[in-house]
Structure 1
């Protein structure tokens, strides 16, 4: 049985674009509020205007053409592109209440995205040694359809995932996405699936309760 999102977690779905720096500022403030005063946890779904973001492992040689603003994100990972047509999910959860297992959180986050993509008609998977969510592109080769990048501060998570619904894939050519040069990037639109952001958010929400319950289960399993 699919579980609902608990009232302790705010679910926010934006219809307009949110500038990346503004989202980063709001995330950092909410992280402090969750940690310091027990504010509600947050799942925040949105789109950004075009931007390249640099993770803590970003290599300047992988920034090939900085045609858009480049922002230091503070998350793990390397360079990532965000822009219109890509759905971004910021997930702010208190791991003090969910097992203090960062690796388990990332695996559960990946599983949530993979299950949601399956629900909308895309088979996807993890790939050993390659960060992100992968699928089979129209040429038969593996390609990245989703990115994962998180930060945990005072045991409260920040950042999360992005999924390519219908972005301009040419915009990814300004970077080597996540430092992986030998594989391409694809989208639901390129694979022949036309899905509005609101419909994808609804698909995510249907799976969100199970994702959160899995994290609760990890916490309950600890001695």
Structure 2
């Protein structure tokens, strides 16, 4: 039976490496649990009596990071335009990591979302997974009157994607193993866009980046954006609120 319940967590402003380690722990536990479930299924087929009440969990993590640059497995190190001294000057750190995609920036004022989902609970199609995340962001921006879309051939969410003014407002990069996901998306809300000037964002030359603050001409309430995006992700995936979230509300 599919488990569409999702536990949401808010990690606040958190060091990137600490968040990565916490992701890996949740991810690893889910992958291990899926292996146990599969072994039980095999045992049941062979006539053994086994409990069938174990289900893999789903998490939706929201956070922000101090200034950091991350490079995906398919990226090029030369797309980071700062040396160690430059990183120190701008109080930023750099990590090559195990998601897909090229280089990107995370920092305060940027809403980061890490879905750690067992896609067997939803659909086993990584392209549909990315398109569904994109749609949740597109609908969130529409709430603010900002028309967003997709740029042909690239993952993420863009503004003016159909003309020469195309600029990226949300980057995405994911990892998936045994249909369990980690990493996710980064939406520029009130982010300092100057930090993107020290990289070739997502390896795409000649295209600029955008933020919701820049488009609206005012600072935007991060908690409001988070709640709208959370709602849209739940709607797009057909998710249900987990018992753990209900306990947190009623405790």
Query: For residue 9 of structure 2, what is the aligned residue in structure 1?
Result: 12
Alignment partner of 1:206 out of 231, 235, 249? 231
The answer as to whether partners of 1:126 and 1:132 remain within 8 angstroms in 2 is: yes
Worse-superposed segment, 123-132 or 79-88 = 123-132
Partner Cα distance (1:101, 1:64) in 2: 35
Q: Provide, for residues 182-210 of structure 1, a one-character-per-residue CA deviation record: whole Å limited to 9, x for no partner.
A: 11011111112432211011111221221
Question: Corresponding residue for 1:219?
Answer: none
> 3-state DSSP class of the match of 1:189?
helix
Q: Does 1:88 align with 2:117?
A: no
Deviates more, 1:46-55 or 1:117-126: 117-126
In 2, distance between residues paired with 1:13 and 1:136?
31
1:45-90, Cα deviation, whole Å (9 max, x unpaired):
1100000001011112211114221112210000000000100000
Confirm whether residue 61 of structure 1 aligns to residue 78 of structure 2: yes
Q: Which residue of 1 aligns with 2:198?
A: 174
Extract structure 1 runs of 4+ deviating beyond 3 A: none
Check whether the contact 1:131–1:178 (CA below 8 A) recurs between aligned residues: no
1:40 has 2:64 as partner: no
Among candidates 23, 29, 33, match of residue 27 of structure 1: 23
SS of equivalent residue, structure 1 residue 130: coil
Q: Which residue of 1 aligns with 2:186?
A: 162
User: Which shows bigger deviation, 45-54 or 120-129?
Assistant: 120-129
Unaligned runs of 5+ in 2: 34-54, 240-251
Structure showing greater radius of gyration is: 2
Distance, in Å, in 1 between the alignment partners of 2:184 and 2:237 is 14
Residue pair 2:156, 2:168 contacting (<8 A) in 1 also: yes
Which residue of 1 is the match for residue 153 of structure 2?
129
What is the TM-score when the length of structure 1 is the normalising length? 0.86
Q: CA deviation at 1:121?
A: 2.2
Tell which deviates more after alignment, 44-53 or 61-70. 61-70
Unmatched 5+ stretches in structure 1 = 1-5, 215-223
Q: Does the CA-based 8 Å contact 1:120-1:203 persist in structure 2?
A: no
Greater helix proportion: 2
Structure with bigger strand share is 1
1:145 aligns with one of 169, 188, 209: 169
